């Protein structure tokens, strides 16, 4: 509140800021409610008249009893009873409440509906930056606004009129000094009350913040119960909630104490005013200028004036509370959506579903670019997959296409129409999305699936679930399609949750499909079922897929590699593998497939491979051992000698290489049965080992180890010269190496 007062300059401008809510407070377009509101005003005037007549009638009764008035005491008392009855809860006040209640609840409901609708129409940037707890509390601010309006116009205004009438009437009856005393008392009272309210603002704000904090802790704990229980932090959350409650109660105590202190000061001021007025009235009665009945009227009038003055003191506190609550609502109502329809936006005219990304740039904070100059043309009916590292901007492209955000540079077009020029709702009506983490409502399965198209029949829902391979699973549940899925679908498994989301998208019958990591959290069998559902969903539709598991997007018409918000590669799976770029690198890290070869007997091939490795090792060990001098000099031989020492490929070694290729081919054949669409390609060469320098052989612990490492160095040198690479022996223990060298 203090911040807004500083921004606006004064209370008038501050209150004027709330005029944006006036159309929801006043029943615009509701003639019956407006007539009720005018009738309430008439009741208020009648109530003010009764507040004047009742004290006056009390004085008449006193004068009639003392004989100074010719009016019969019986008639005077009967009149007083009628006036009292008329001003009580069963008189005008009852009529006023009957007239006002529909107007009051219209105001409250209109503000609540307007706040909720406005929030739902705000853009993703607002919802991504606000907590659900804050938004829920802001919606309740509608009640604070209606309470403030009722307090000002139906309570404060009539009481202010009562005070003015009292000042005039007392001035006429007891002279101008009585009116002056009344006015001075009211002024001092309101001044003291306002000062005390101002000093208690910080206490009040702390109390309100403590209430919000308690609500937030309670809301977050209940919402995250699964996480709390999984990490065994129920005790921690109990302590958090207990601390929040204790803090709120402490702030409440401070607030109540300040309230009672201010009430005590206000009572002292009122008592002083009453004492001064009574002294003046007694003085006039003793001088014969007033009657005892008028003195009784004065006492009753002061009793009636005390209530308005105390109400104004309470009004300051309650209005402060209401304005603090209403500020959250006002902030939201003043927030404009960043994504909205243009003035003359036209519906999207869908032709084939061709999508163009024309030099698209985007930034969340207008500083760091998330998408940078992306150019991409997608013909209608094609499937495009976005791949890349986490945070590269893949999901952001889908959000731009669904217009959760508007591009900051360039344009996105569907069938030649800029998304910013078409009606937002007609655009989203053409798009179906399956998010990475689908959100289901705490409702039945059939209602969650039907949410894709509210007008769908039960049979259409069943057909969509059959297409998503989930119908039989749902029928197997105890309550079938009437099973409640729980908050956010927690009663369903990951695969069931995804397939319900797919069924919802199928039921929608979209023209453009967006799949954002839709199978990232399911097992292989479930993924195969979901992929079948995807093929049915995407058939004949323009489809965009975001995936980290590359095996799921191999059949895409085009694969686009995104890195740091830029498009670095684009093509089919085979084209990108042959290009050997970033996609091939990602693929090699996920899938390792050996080249083809003729099928052979695996058992026989393994035996021959073992024999060939032993033969190669014997040749290498013998040649290396000859280089060691008889005197114990272990100086390595020359480069020419080392070249001569390398054995030529024997028939056994050639047969070994052929055997390895055959084994890999047979393994590839088996792998193809598991994944029939898996491509076949030659993997990248393995990273060579780091070999020791020639001068370091004297540091090796055994002759066998020296022989093995020297053979590795010779093989590496032959590979560099472009000759055939030799198959290296399998590493063995030192004891095995020494035994082999001894036998050689």
Residue 288 token pair: 């014969």
Do residues 419 and 350 make contact, with C-beta atoms less than 8 angstroms apart? Answer: no
**pLDDT tops 90 at residue 694:** no
Q: What is the pLDDT of residues 39-73, one digit of tens each?
A: 988 888 888 888 778 888 887 887 787 777 677 88
Q: What is the pLDDT of residues 369-411, one digit of tens each?
A: 789 999 999 999 999 999 988 888 888 999 999 999 999 999 9
Query: What CA–CA distance (Å, rounded) separates 315 from 10?
Result: 19
Q: How confident is the model at residue 571 (pLDDT cuts 50, 70, 90)?
A: very high
Query: What CA–CA distance (Å, rounded) separates 305 from 269?
Result: 13
Q: Which of 101-105, 486-490, 674-678 has the lowest mean pLDDT?
A: 674-678
Query: What CA–CA distance (Å, rounded) separates 21 from 147?
Result: 13
More confident residue, 135 or 735: 135
pLDDT for position 266: 75
Q: Which residues pair with 360 in a beta bridge?
A: 374
pLDDT for position 616: 44
pLDDT > 90: percent of the chain: 13
- Report, as an integer, the average pLDDT of 291-299: 78
- Non-local (6+) Cβ contacts of 126 within 8 A are 119, 335, 337, 338
More confident residue, 145 or 498: 498
Assign residue 359 a region: left if phi > 0, alpha if psi is -120 to 50, beta otherwise?
Answer: left
What pTM was computed for the model? 0.61
Q: Which of 317, 340, 329, 322 is nearest to 255 (CA)?
A: 317
Q: Classify domain 2-333 by CATH architecture.
A: Up-down Bundle (1.20)
Strands (E), 91-176: none
Residue 435 token pair: 């998010």
Q: What is the pLDDT of residues 521-535, one digit of tens each?
A: 667 777 777 787 788
**pLDDT tops 50 at residue 646:** no
Query: What CA–CA distance (Å, rounded) separates 255 from 205?
Result: 10
pLDDT for position 718: 52
CA 388 from chain centre, in angstroms, equals 25
Domain with CATH 1.20.1560.10 in the chain: 2-333
Q: Which of 142, 502, 463, 493 is nearest to 329 (CA)?
A: 142
pLDDT for position 377: 92
Query: What CA–CA distance (Å, rounded) separates 700 from 704?
Result: 9
Q: What is the pLDDT of residues 263-273, one digit of tens each?
A: 777 778 878 88
Q: Which of 615, 609, 600 is nearest to 650 (CA)?
A: 615
- Non-local (6+) Cβ contacts of 353 within 8 A are 380, 381, 414, 415, 511, 512, 541, 542
Q: Which of 240-244, 607-611, 683-687 has the lowest mean pLDDT?
A: 683-687
pLDDT for position 197: 67
Do residues 653 and 727 make contact, with C-beta atoms less than 8 angstroms apart? Answer: yes
Question: Under CATH, which number does the domain 355-590 receive?
Answer: 3.40.50.300
Residue 320 token pair: 């402060």
Q: Reading across the β-sheet that carries 566-571, which strands appear in turn?
A: 431-434, 512-516, 542-546, 383-387, 558-563, 566-571
Query: What CA–CA distance (Å, rounded) separates 643 from 621?
Result: 14
**pLDDT tops 90 at residue 558:** yes
pLDDT averaged over every residue in the chain: 75
Domain with CATH 3.40.50.300 in the chain: 355-590
Do residues 396 and 332 make contact, with C-beta atoms less than 8 angstroms apart? Answer: no
**pLDDT tops 90 at residue 482:** yes
Q: For 287-373, where are the alpha helices, taking DSSP H only?
A: 292-333
Do residues 337 and 123 make contact, with C-beta atoms less than 8 angstroms apart? Answer: yes
C-alpha distance from residue 240 to each of 52, 235, 246, 520, 580 (Å)? 55, 9, 10, 34, 54
pLDDT > 70: percent of the chain: 73
CB atoms within 10 A of CB 688: 10
Characterize the bridge pairing of strands 558-563 and 566-571. antiparallel
**pLDDT tops 70 at residue 1:** no
Residue 212 token pair: 């919000």
Q: Is 75 helix (H, G, I), strand (E, B) or coil?
A: helix
Q: Which residues pair with 431 in a beta bridge?
A: 512
pLDDT for position 708: 52
In sign, the C-alpha dihedral spanning 662, 663, 664, 666 is positive
Residues in the chain: 744
- In DSSP notation, 8-62 reads H-SHHHHHHGGGGGHHHHTTTT-HHHHHHHHHHHHHHHHHHHHHHHHHHHHHHHH
Q: Is 433 helix (H, G, I), strand (E, B) or coil?
A: strand
Residue 550 token pair: 């590359």
C-alpha distance from residue 398 to each of 116, 120, 422, 512, 693 (Å)? 26, 20, 17, 11, 54
Query: What CA–CA distance (Å, rounded) separates 215 from 238?
Result: 14
Query: What CA–CA distance (Å, rounded) separates 381 from 287?
Result: 104
More confident residue, 320 or 451: 451
More confident residue, 59 or 16: 59
- Report, as an integer, the average pLDDT of 125-154: 77
Query: What CA–CA distance (Å, rounded) separates 676 from 669?
Result: 9
């Amino acid at each position: 509140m203090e911040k807004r007062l500083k921004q606006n300059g004064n209370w008038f401008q501050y209150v004027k800021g709330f005029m944006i809510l006036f159309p929801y407070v006043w029943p615009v377009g509701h003639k019956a409610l407006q007539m009720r509101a005018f009738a309430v005003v008439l009741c208020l005037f009648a109530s003010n008249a009764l507040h004047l007549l009742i004290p006056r009638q009390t004085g008449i009764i006193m004068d009639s009893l003392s004989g100074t008035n010719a009016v019969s005491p019986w008639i005077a008392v009967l009149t007083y009873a009628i006036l009292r009855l008329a001003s009580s809860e069963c008189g005008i006040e009852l009529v006023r409440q009957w007239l006002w209640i529909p107007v009051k609840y219209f105001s409250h409901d209109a503000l609540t509906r307007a706040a909720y609708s406005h929030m739902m129409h705000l853009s993703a940037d607002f919802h991504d930056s606000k907590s659900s707890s804050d938004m829920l509390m802001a919606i309740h601010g509608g009640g604070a606004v209606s309470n403030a309006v009722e307090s000002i116009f139906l309570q404060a205004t009539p009481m202010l009129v009562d005070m003015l009438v009292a000042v005039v009437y007392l001035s006429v009856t007891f002279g101008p000094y009585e009116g002056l005393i009344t006015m001075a008392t009211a002024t001092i009272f309101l001044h003291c009350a306002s000062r005390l309210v101002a000093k208690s603002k910080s206490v009040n704000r702390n109390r309100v913040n403590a209430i919000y904090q308690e609500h937030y802790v309670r809301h977050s704990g209940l919402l995250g119960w699964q996480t709390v229980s999984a990490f065994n932090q129920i005790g921690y959350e109990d302590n958090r909630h207990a601390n929040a409650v204790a803090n709120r109660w402490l702030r409440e105590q401070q607030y109540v104490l300040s309230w009672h202190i201010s009430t005590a000061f206000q009572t002292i001021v009122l008592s002083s005013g009453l004492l001064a007025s009574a002294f003046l009235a007694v003085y006039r009665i003793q001088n014969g200028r007033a009657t005892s009945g008028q003195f009784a009227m004065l006492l009753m009038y002061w009793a009636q004036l005390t209530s308005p003055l105390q109400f104004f003191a309470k009004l300051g506190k309650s209005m402060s509370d209401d304005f603090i609550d209403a500020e959250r609502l006002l902030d939201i109502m003043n927030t404009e959506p960043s994504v909205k329809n243009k003035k003359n936006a036209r519906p999207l005219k869908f032709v084939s579903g061709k999508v163009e990304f024309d030099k698209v740039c985007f930034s969340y904070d207008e500083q760091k670019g998330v998408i940078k100059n992306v150019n991409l043309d997608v013909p209608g009916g094609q499937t495009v997959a976005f791949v890349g590292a986490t945070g590269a901007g893949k999901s952001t492209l889908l959000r731009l296409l669904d217009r959760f955000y508007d591009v900051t540079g360039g344009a996105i077009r569907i069938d030649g129409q800029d998304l910013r020029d078409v009606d937002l709702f007609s655009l989203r009506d053409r798009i179906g999305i399956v998010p990475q983490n689908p959100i289901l409502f705490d409702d039945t399965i059939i209602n969650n699936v039907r949410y894709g198209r509210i007008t769908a029949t039960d049979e259409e829902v069943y057909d969509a679930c059959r297409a998503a391979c989930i119908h039989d699973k749902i029928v197997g549940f105890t309550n079938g399609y009437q099973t409640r899925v729980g908050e956010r679908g927690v009663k369903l498994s990951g695969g069931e949750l995804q397939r319900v989301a797919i069924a919802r998208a199928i039921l929608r019958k979209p023209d453009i499909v967006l799949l954002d990591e839709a199978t990232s959290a399911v097992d292989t069998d479930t993924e195969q079922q979901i992929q079948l559902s995807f093929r049915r969903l995407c058939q004949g539709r323009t489809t965009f897929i975001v995936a980290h598991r590359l095996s799921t997007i191999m059949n895409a018409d085009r694969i686009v590699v995104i890195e740091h918000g830029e498009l670095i590669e684009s093509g089919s799976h085979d084209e990108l593998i042959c290009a050997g770029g970033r996609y091939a690198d990602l693929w090699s890290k996920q899938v390792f497939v050996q080249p083809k070869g003729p099928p052979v007997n695996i058992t026989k091939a393994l035996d021959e491979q073992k024999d060939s490795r032993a033969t190669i090792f014997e040749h290498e060990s013998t040649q290396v051992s000859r280089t060691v001098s008889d005197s114990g000099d272990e100086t390595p031989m020359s480069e020419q000698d080392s070249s001569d020492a390398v054995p030529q490929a024997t028939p056994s070694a050639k047969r070994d290489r052929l055997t390895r290729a055959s084994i890999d081919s047979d393994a590839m054949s088996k792998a193809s049965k598991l994944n029939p669409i898996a491509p076949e390609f030659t993997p990248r060469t393995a990273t060579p080992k780091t070999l020791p320098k020639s001068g370091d052989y004297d540091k090796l612990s055994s002759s066998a180890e020296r022989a093995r490492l020297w053979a590795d160095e010779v093989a590496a040198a032959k590979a560099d010269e472009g000759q055939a690479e030799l198959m290296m022996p399998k590493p063995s223990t030192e004891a095995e190496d020494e035994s082999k060298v001894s036998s050689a």
